[in-house]
Structure 1
Amino acid sequence: MSTGKVLLVGTVSNVASVLENELKRVLSALTYFSEVDVFLVESDSSDSTLQTLNSLSKTIPNFSYVTLGTLSPDIPNRIERLRYCRNTYVNHIRGEYSKKNLSYVIVADLDGMNSKISEIGVSSCFQDEIVWDACFSNQLGGYSDIYALRCKDWQDGDCFAELHNKRTAFMNESNKHFFFKNLRSLLNRNKIRKSTIYSKMRRIPKSLPWIQVDSAFGGFGIYKSAIFFDHNYDSWDRTGALVSEHVDLHLKIPDSKLYINPALINAYWNTYNVNRFILIRYTRFLIRKSSIIRKILKLMASNSYR
């Protein structure tokens, strides 16, 4: 067991159906630490997330939260909202703690991304001789958080900027062949997303050595607390390019020692890495496009409870 206080933080929105179980699972994994506080930042929920948070605050020791209300009218971009919410827990850290009395900050997604997190995985971060500033989780079905990833010869830049550029280049070319435009667009959309995102969701066996990165996340990260006293999620790019808020934090850390720990498993499959399979991608595409399929699935679900 590690001594010293740690703080679990995260942002939540519309997670009423999963929050309690997810939080308890993460806290169970954190029994490796002797003392754990929890601070969550809520915004833009249209379900009963606030009621769930209020209930949890009465049953979980050292649990607190803040709600920022509806941010979307003033901050319509999702990444910018996340940046604002994450900076709220950074301000909380700086206001309520000091570098001396807070050993680690654990950042976790609590929307179903940590179904396999465990104390064994957490303790593996402290049983290696590697000196680190932060270490991040692994998903055995394929590392899924390509947007937050920066690693030489794996993901050097922004995957969505690359996706946009490839799509634009393809559409400019396809405009010269109008008759085949729609058909070629359908056939190439999957090819482009596979090359820029899904092919990079590498499966990392838990026995492999740690992987040094410039940025990562994957739904669960353990940080030396000093990072949040010295840095926040504000954009570091003066050109105004929009990237993951995790990238903005990590690239500001001088001489950073950031790693993916293959043994820190927080999931096998999740809503992102299952998209590596073409059948899943096309099924989701058809569901999004077909109101008839959605109605059939809704009817089947309702009949299953009768």
Structure 2
Amino acid sequence: MNHNPKTLTPIHEATVLLAGTARDVAPYIASEMKHLLGALKIFKKVFVLIIESDSSDDTIEALEKLKGSISNFDYISMGKLVGKIPIRTERLAYCRNQIIQAVSENSKYSEVDFVILSDLDGLNTHLNGKSIADCWDTSVPWDVVTANQLDFYYDVWTLRHKFWSPGDCILQQINLEPILGYDQSVNLAVWARQVRLPITAGYIEVDAAFGGFAIYKKQAYIAGKYVGSAVTDGVWHEACEHVAHCGDMRKRGYRIFINSALINCKKPADQNPKKPKIFSLAVIKSIRSIGISIFGKKRFKKYLDLLAE
């Protein structure tokens, strides 16, 4: 596989698909689209595909309005998935896999060079065309490039790096708590990984990352599949869906980097917090209760939504 950066389609000649999942985003999806599309003006052509599910507000109406006002904008509503797929990360995996399927099978996306996956909850406040263009001004042979944050790198549940974050931080915290107590286990398993990456730190190669915004070469993106659960030491548990997708890409030789200069926000903030869900499985109850304790704190608002209904 040729990873020469010269094989990157020049940014002003590239066609991209901006994609994401959405639930109850009616109050801010229009402003979110305006901001994101403004940052993506540097590309030749931009398609938009949003996968919606389980909304209880006017999200469908808002998406339909955007479809009528934005060129190449489309959405797919998956309806009510909660009853069929009760675990949130598995629902996210299911919805994100619809994006992969669309890119692979829908002829209107045949001209797409890059898939840009973005959170649509107001996270990407600092994203701009200059930082995106920086990803093309490099000799680093990336197939996937992901975002960084100004205050601290927050997305350590997704992050996989041999030395920095080799495994699931939530499971590590669960296993450490009986030994070290709650505070020390959270500090060691989660907070210690959330380091500040200066924007001058360059490109950091990882095995998995997302951070709320990522750019994928199309062939890399469709080489993987999202999975929202895993089995560790014989125990089934909820898992960040990006990890499996990144793992599939890595197995096929694609390379994933965090670009420290690709800043998408100061720190994460959840505009749409939800009440925690009570799962039937004991292990998920443990993850949920720990999630409430850890992620309910200000610096973990983003993760509160990950473990919510």
TM-score by length of 2: 0.79
User: Structure 2 vs 1, CA of residues 157 and 233 (structure 1 numbering), >3 Å: closer, same or farther?
Assistant: same
Residues 94-103 or 33-42, more deviating: 94-103
Partner of 2:201: 208
Give CA-to-partner distance per residue, 1:140-176, whole Å, 9 cap, x none.
Answer: 1111111110012110001111112123556xxxxxx
- The one-letter code of the counterpart of 1:281 is K
1:190 aligned onto 2:183: yes
C-alpha distance in 2 between matches for 1:256 and 1:242: 25
- Aligned counterpart in structure 2 of residue 263 of structure 1, from 235, 251, 261: 261
Check if 1:132 corresponds to 2:142. Answer: yes
Render the CA deviation track for 1:38-96: whole Å, top value 9, x for unaligned: 00000111122112111111111100001111111111101000000000111111121
Are 1:212 and 1:258, in contact at CA under 8 Å, matched by a contact in 2? Answer: yes
Which of 245, 252, 255 lines up with 2:248 in the alignment? 252
Unaligned runs of 5+ residues in structure 2 are: 1-10, 271-293, 305-309
Aligned to 2:87: 77
Match for 2:266: what amino acid?
A: Y
1:52 maps onto 2:62 in alignment: yes
Following the alignment from structure 1 to structure 2, what is the Cα–Cα distance between the partners of residues 118 and 168? Answer: 44
| 2:297 maps to 1:281 | yes
Whichever residue aligns with residue 144 of structure 1, its letter is Y
Q: Please say if residues 158 and 208 of structure 2, whose CA atoms lie closer than 8 Å, have aligned partners that are also in contact.
A: yes
Distance 2:241 2:103 in 1: 18
Distance in 1 of aligned mates of 2:193 and 2:205: 16
Select 1:92's aligned residue among 98, 102, 111. Answer: 102
* Distance in 2, Cα, partners of 1:268 & 1:283: 11
Q: Indicate the percent of aligned positions where both proteins have the same amino acid.
A: 33
Q: Which residue of 1 aligns with 2:71?
A: 61
Q: Which of structure 1's runs of 4+ aligned residues deviate more than 6 A?
A: 282-285
Q: Distance in 2 between matches of 1:201 and 1:229?
A: 29
**1:25-174 paired onto structure 2 within 5 Å:** 25-97=35-107, 101-169=111-179
Aligned AA for 2:162?
K
CA contact (8 A) 1:99 1:225 kept: no
Structure 2 CA distance for partners of 1:165 and 1:224, relative to 1, 3 Å: same
CA distance in structure 1 between the partners assigned to 2:129 and 2:299 by the alignment: 35
Q: Which aligned pairs between 1:206-245 and structure 2 lie closer than 5 A?
A: 206-234=199-227, 242-245=238-241
**Equivalent pairs, count:** 264
Q: Does the 8 Å CA contact 2:268/2:300 hold for their aligned counterparts? A: no
* TM-aligned CA distance change 1:196 to 1:115, over 3 Å: same
- Once superposed, what is the RMSD of the aligned Cα atoms? 2.7
8 A Cα contact 1:134 1:223, kept in partner: yes
- Partners of 2:139 and 2:300 in 1: CA distance: 43
Gap change, CA 1:109 and 1:282, over 3 Å in 2:
closer
Q: Higher helix proportion, which one? A: 1
- Note closer, same or farther for the CA distance 1:152–1:25 as it changes in structure 2 (3 Å cut): same
The Cα shift of 1:98 comes to 8.3
Larger radius of gyration: 1
Aligned residue type for 1:152 = K
Mapped to 2, the partners of 1:28 and 1:235 lie a distance apart of 31
